[in-house]
A = this chain, B = another copy of it.
Amino acid sequence: MRHVAAFPKSLCVVGFMVGQTGLGSNVNVRLYSAMPSRRVVFVLFDSFAALDVIGPADVFAEANRLATGTPPYGLRFVSDQTQVRASSGALFGTEPLDQVSPEKTEMLMVPGADEEPLRAALANAGLRDWVRAAASSAQRVCSVCSGAFILADLGLIKGKRATTHWRGLQLLRRWPGAPIVDQDALYTEDGNLWTSAGVTAGIDMALAMVERDLGRAAALKIARELVLFLVRPGGQSQFSAPLNLQARSAATDLSRLPFWLESRLTEPTTVEDMANAMGMSVRTFHRRCLAVFDQTPLQVLLTVRLERVRTLLEERSIPLKTIAARTGFSDAGLRRAFSDRFGVSPSDYRKCFG
């Protein structure tokens, strides 16, 4: 299960030296000695998202492969059965919960799922008890994606900073036992609680844990082996459609607002203009905006304009200057507003999504 030799080491005609990161480094030196082995337990349930589990698991397994001596992470996969099917249909063999003592869990990893299987997991008393017991003694309590709802529902993260898939941010904020939601983070760490944004952000989180445990050189090495960025530029905002202004306002007195703003992006628009168009006093309009959108009128306006910028950036051929002109920004103003909102520059965004 653990392979000491890296793949092409002895196959390779010209030879390859493990641990070599560049000409300045010592060659033939492994990057780190392992810490004492930590028991990492992934809690699976019917229709879980397999990538939420296998992403972090393979990061830890790679850390094991590159370590000298004891592997730093001992991986276990448990469920309330002996096998469990992921949402993709992949079938996983697991250790039954009742045969694994939760107290020995040092890192508890809870993956996410779609709504229906997540509700089923939340209704599973045996699974809840096991997770609660494991969480009470674990050095790290971790969730990937919508797995945060399981931790929240068990009251394990109240008042702590946490995140989840961008689709679930609003909901997590309103969930009983809710954490303080960090809506832009790819992952968060607050005391012994680690949570990640959607799906592949679990890989970024696992890499950050390895960096904490074994150092930056080890994390960089693992990132290279798995062909990962060590750090992804920008937060999860850039992946999301965080607004959903139309959805939010659908059945309210502000249903026309997003469309009206969309239709006049290049014109200067004041809060008075917006209130007039909605047939409300400025005071009422301001109050309704906060109630419907969780945003002030000017924030709503900015959101509409930035969403249009984002859509236009995804068309590869439109120059930034043209995008600014079509959305009522100056060139510099667009760059600043976009970077503030999404954590990356417009040109970096285009490189990843354009």
Contact = CB atoms under 8 A, between A and B. Distances in A.
Interface of A: 1, 3, 5-17, 20-25, 27, 47, 49-51, 53-55, 57-58, 60-61, 65, 75, 77, 83, 85-94, 112-118, 146, 165-168, 170-171, 174, 186, 197-201, 203, 220, 223-233, 236, 239-241, 243-248, 250, 258, 262, 304, 307-308, 310-311, 314, 348, 351-354
Contacts of A186: 227
A61 B75 contact: no
Given A61-B88, A228-B200, A262 B54 contact: no
Contact of A240 (B171, B224, B245, B308): B224
Contact of A247 (B17, B146, B200): B17
B168 A258 contact: no
Nearest to A249: B14
A345 to B, nearest CB: 10
Nearest to A83: B93
Contact of A246 (B20, B93, B351): B20
Given A6-B115, A50-B58, A54-B86, 17 more contacts: A6-B114, A6-B167, A15-B248, A17-B246, A17-B247, A20-B244, A24-B262, A24-B308, A51-B54, A55-B55, A75-B90, A166-B227, A186-B227, A199-B225, A223-B239, A232-B352, A233-B351
Q: Which 9 pairs, one residue from A and one from B, show the smallest C-beta to C-beta distance?
A: A91-B93, A61-B88, A198-B227, A54-B54, A51-B58, A229-B352, A233-B351, A3-B114, A22-B311
B88 A90 contact: no
Contacts of A10: 115
A99 to B, nearest CB: 15
Contact of A224 (B17, B114, B223, B241): B241
- Copies of this chain per assembly: 2
A233 B352 contact: yes
Nearest to A262: B23
B7 A165 contact: yes
Contact of A230 (B197, B240, B352): B352
A22 B199 contact: no
A346 to B, nearest CB: 14
B16 A167 contact: yes
B61 A87 contact: yes
A228 B183 CA distance: 17
A5 B199 contact: no
Given A8-B115, A14-B247, A165 B353 contact: no
Given A89-B75, A115-B9, A351-B233, A1 B51 contact: no
Contact of A241 (B22, B57, B170): B22
17 contacts: A7-B112, A7-B114, A8-B167, A11-B171, A12-B170, A22-B307, A23-B262, A65-B114, A77-B89, A92-B92, A166-B224, A197-B227, A224-B241, A228-B239, A231-B352, A231-B354, A348-B348
Contacts of A262: 23-24
Contacts of A5: 114-116
A292 B247 CA distance: 63
